[in-house]
Amino acid sequence: MKRVWNHNGGRIRAARAGAAARFLAVAIVGVLLGSSALASEVRLHEVFSATGQYGIHNSGVGDLVDGTATMHDVTIPGRVETAYLYWVGSNQPHDDVGSDANITLTSSASSRAAVTADVEWAVDFEKPWDPGHYLWDANHIAFVADVTDLVSVGTFDYTISDFDMDAEFGVGLQVVYEDDSLPVSNVTVHQGHDFAYSGWPSAGELNRTHVLTHTFEPSDHERTLEASFLVAGGEPTDRPDQLWFDTGTHVTEEDLPAELITTGLGEVIDANPLEGTDGATWDTVIKEVMVPAGATYVAFQFESGGGTGTGSPAESFSWVSGSFAMVPEPTMLVLLLLGIPLVTQRRR
């Protein structure tokens, strides 16, 4: 069944979409220039895609002590295709954006290495208590760096240090690797800094993230998709949140859903996904969903509030990555069986 989104969504939502487009443009400019210039909040966007015998590993650790944390026993079974390091923190007041784009990564397989963020995004909570502004004089800043050359095949510990902000929410390591024992899959990585605000006073849609859609060619059989999300700031207390999901078919990008929660398109697949699974204030959320025959997209959206939690206030959090792995469409599998190489797309 084809699902078509009605774009007459109201002025507030249209304004937010326009702002997100401007933020994305700023962020992409920073990436293209190879700089770590500070940009505003940006919705998640694709930065890497490849098809082959690939797997994705995600590790994380939250609630840093003295700016230091270790991800233990990170196991990478095959050649590293690409690896990204994420770290997220907060400063007060809101205009303290000196940030912390320079940290140190130490692997038990190698020596210490200085790491500088390739890109960083800040959510600025300006003018606390004014209508239309968040009730906190602070910011959240997310950093991303390509650390492919610093990740080794095997099982090792990875320690981040020299991370110094007023609050260090956590660190995540994301590795795409090649392994001959795996089935052929299409893997895709999305990055950004999409924030869900608890209790936004005058624009209710900001209590949820944008919709992240992943598109693909249809298949004549049902397939399993594994989705992994890196989220910073979620607390292991009873602060409610939800994860919504939708799948369907589309012809053009305009057919893809721009909203799941208020339109009736989506369903809740987790009524409390953020519980500090990797230590307080950091979550690696992994979901397997069934993609029906003929489907051409999946869509996900996080919500602050609702769900099974009864706490007050609701959760506030930074969504910084979404990665997907799925057996590709039959045509692509045929090309691989014939020995025709497929292009790995790297956008950073």
- pLDDT, tens digit, 9 for 90 and up, residues 280-292: 899 999 999 999 9
pLDDT at residue 70 in the model: 96
Binning pLDDT at 50, 70 and 90, where does residue 38 land? low
Tokens 């700023």 identify what position? Answer: 26
The average pLDDT across 324-329 equals 86
Burial readout 179-203 (b: 16 or more C-beta within 10 A, e: otherwise): eeeeeebbbbbbbbbbbbbbebeee
- pLDDT, tens digit, 9 for 90 and up, residues 116-150: 999 999 887 665 455 555 556 778 899 999 999 99
The average pLDDT across 108-118 equals 91
Q: What is the largest CA-CA distance in the chain?
A: 62
| DSSP 8-state symbol, 208 | B
pLDDT at residue 268 in the model: 95
**End-to-end CA, the chain:** 35
Binning pLDDT at 50, 70 and 90, where does residue 314 land? confident
- pLDDT, tens digit, 9 for 90 and up, residues 59-68: 999 988 889 9
Lowest-pLDDT range, 75-84, 94-103, 195-204, 258-267? 195-204
**Domain boundaries along the sequence of the chain:** 11-346
pTM for the model: 0.82
